[in-house]
Structure 1
Amino acid sequence: MAPRLSGFTRASSLGPIADFMDRQGGSVARVLKDVDLPFALLEQPELLVPLREQFRFLERAARETGDPCFGARLGQVVRMANLSAFGAWVCAAESLAQAIERGHGSLNTMLQTSTVLTLLRRGAKVHWLIEFVEPETDGRHHNELLGVAYQIDVVRTYAGRSWRPDVVLTALPPGTPRAELEAIFGTNVSHGHAVPGIEFDAALLSRPLPVSTARPLRSALCTEPEVPRQHDELATIAAVTDLALHEHYPRIAWVAAKLGTTRRSLQRRLAQHGTTFNRLVEETLLRRAKALLGEGTKPVTEIALELGYADPAHFTRAFRRWTGVTPSDYRTAAG
């Protein structure tokens, strides 16, 4: 049986992580280096990162700051409306019920895969649950508490900033101390649940969006790379290859490690799709080069260096081989 494909999330799901860690006395640059992720994640929130790598990042950040409740504390400064085009779409719904419906329907295509949202009615109460279907364990509880914080923020969009859920449900073992988490969330915390989430009054579902909160939708979709479908193996590998390009020339060992597999296994999987890693890298480089040239602002030399080439001559020869024209000619024609 083939190993399960990693889910993906956008870097925006970490919220203002750099400023937050600075206030907590930690170094986000050191954490990124330790988990071997590109610094571009802080500058380009639309970038896609394997969900398992976000788990690892949060675990390392918690150790860096010495905070066992790091995910929950980070969750207090995130805002759903700022969570890429997905968050803006959800928080522009006419009612809380519609916002939740939008979240359930578009999460896996707009923001994050390997994630399941469920709404359960329990009499006059509802349980809104968030499950991460990802085998990685390190950092999982930090990501779960961060996800719960986003759920709380969605409800606050309709119920007011001072609103608190009746209970925060966690998957932490029963008997885990609750006092610190209850202080962070400002409400009761219950451990030992199969799936984390929040409990609140079902009457809130009909709460309309306050007029003062309504805002035009941002047109971020055109700049966000498409989230790979959960079972699209080639798109999954391509997304990690694209992430590698933001740090250095993509290396197969790095891509394989981020996918939780080996170099040889990755080569076999690519061969099954009728391609090779080198061909995939060239397709990624060409796509990125065209995008940078189309922006019309950076010199060709700078683009060549950004793409990992030692000098612009190597980049120009490669680009001509791919397209039949030089980068400068392509830019002129595109303009």
Structure 2
Amino acid sequence: MGKRTITVHHVRAVLRGAERAGLDTVPLLQAARIPPLLLGDDRARVTSVQFARLFRALYRTTQDEFLGLASAPSRPGTFAMMCYATMGCSDLGRAMERGTAFYALFPDGPNLSLSRTPAEAVFTVHNGLGADEERYEDRFLTECMVIIWHRLCSWLTGSRIPLRWAEFAYPPPPHESEYGSLFGCPVRFGAARTAAGFDAHWLAAPLVQDESSLDALLRRAPFDLLTRREYGTTVAEQVRRSLARALRASPRLPTLTDTAARLAVSPATLRRRLDRENTSFQHLKDAVRRDAAIAALAEGHEPIAELAARLGFSEDTSFHRAFRRWTGTTPGAYRVASHGALPQGSGQRGEPFLAAPPRQ
């Protein structure tokens, strides 16, 4: 419980490469235990486990680290070799420069750069990576590149590097509200570039990882880097983590006053800070309950009445109304759809998504 769910917009986006290649995506969705009908509802969400299964199924099918989303494929092992190339660097700045230089060796690969001033470092993705940047689904890979590089840098230094800002060279997508939690910073659309900025002092941070820990990371990358939310540094993230921990212990979620006390601020201050991040305490409470409900329905067989009580609803009908408001369907219908036939062997722990090269 407490793990975030993922908007159906991202599910559609990650399937875009397979669709463009003329592949049948229904078996891929079934292998991930994602009901294909969910893709038609903009309010639908899936669990991180379902999304991870879909990533792995797409990787096995496309044999492309970009999952067919880019104008040119990236051969398996490319990301791993870039990571190994950074291991001998003395600090994060040199590691980022080496990583961007590595991808510059590929004519159709990502065009990345690192620039710096005394106060700020900026990581920029210069070229759109999708084949048709007019569609949101084809911008998804560019956004993933920003997220993965930011979180890889945090992993390399063993620290949570907060982003100051992130901006994107296209209009806001329908699910604009998701971006604050994805990047943990103010986000702007319609900018002149796609980039993210952070305090320049992080470039001098020493690397604390070695090849052994890198091997472990690569067994889960890039999905683990895309979904690990502990790098978030916003007030909303702090509140959400606090609420998720509380829900694991009791169906009664703390009030705004209780949460403010836990964060050592006044209720009015907490309300103002959440408002500046374009969210509210009630919205975060709903999101925590929603994600817990979706995860329980998709992955388990807990009776719906018991689930409703565990999530703090006084009666089943209240839970049904809330779930329909969140997802556009009922808890029972979501469970039936998610527990449809699963192809033999799917859902098992498979090969690393980005295989590391063989050790010499």
What is the TM-score with the length of structure 1 in the denominator?
Answer: 0.41
RCO comparison, higher one (Cα < 8 Å, 6+): 2
What is the TM-score with the length of structure 2 in the denominator?
Answer: 0.38
